[in-house]
Amino acid sequence: MARQSWVDQMARQLAELGFSGYRRTDAAVMRVLLRAPVPIGKLGASLGVTRQAARKVVDGLEQRRYVRTERGSHDTRQLNAALTPLGEDYARAVVAVIDELNRGIYQRVTDQQMLGADAVLRAVIGENETWGGVARRLASPEPMATDQA
C-alpha cells in the first residue's frame, strides 16, 4: 500500500507539472539517464532486469518523447538510450518530486523513526542480491560508465 501510495503521489504531482503518464519504472530510469546516456544492456543490468525488459521501458519513454536511442559510435551493435531535452525536464521534475515527497515524510516522523525504517528496508533489500545492487547503484553519486552494452 505504501508503494502504491508513493506511485500515486508521484503521478499526481508530475501531472500537475505537465508530465502525465508516470510509470513505476520512470523514476529509476530517469535518475540513471540524467547522469549520462547508457547502453540499453547496461541500463537493464543497473535496474536488475533483462536487456529485453530495459528495451521495453526505453520504448515507452521514447513513445512519450523523453528518450531517444542511437547506435554506438564505436560499436554499431550497441544501442544507447539518452534523454531528449523534454526528457531532461522530465528527469529533473521526477527528482524534484522525489525530493519533495521525501521532505514530507521527514516532517512527519522523527529521526529515530526514519533510522529504524531505513534499517528495516535495507535489511529487506539486502536479502535480494539483485535489488540490493540496484539500490546501491541508484544511491551512488558516481556517473555510470557507458562504454559497453
Q: What is the mean pLDDT of residues 25-42?
A: 92
Residues in Cβ contact with 94 at an 8 Å cutoff, skipping those fewer than 6 apart: 10, 14, 26, 27, 30, 31
Which one-letter DSSP state was computed for residue 38?
E
21-25, 85-89, 139-143: the lowest-pLDDT one: 139-143
| Mean pLDDT value of segment 99-122 | 88
> Residue 99 burial by CB count (10 A; 0-12/13-18/19+): exposed, middle or buried?
exposed
* CATH architecture, domain 2-139: Orthogonal Bundle (1.10)
pTM: 0.77
| pLDDT > 80? residue 135 | no
Is pLDDT at 1 greater than 90 in this prediction?
no
Per-residue pLDDT band for 148 (boundaries 50, 70, 90) equals very low
pLDDT average, residue stretch 21-45: 92
DSSP tag of 83: E
Amino acid 16: pLDDT: 96
Statement: residue 145 has pLDDT above 70: no
List of residues 6+ apart from 20 with CB closer than 8 A:
14
Burial of 29: CB neighbours in 10 Å, binned 0-12, 13-18, 19+: buried
Under DSSP, is residue 69 helix (H, G, I), strand (E, B) or coil?
Answer: strand
Residue 91: which of 141, 17, 147 has the closest Cα? 17
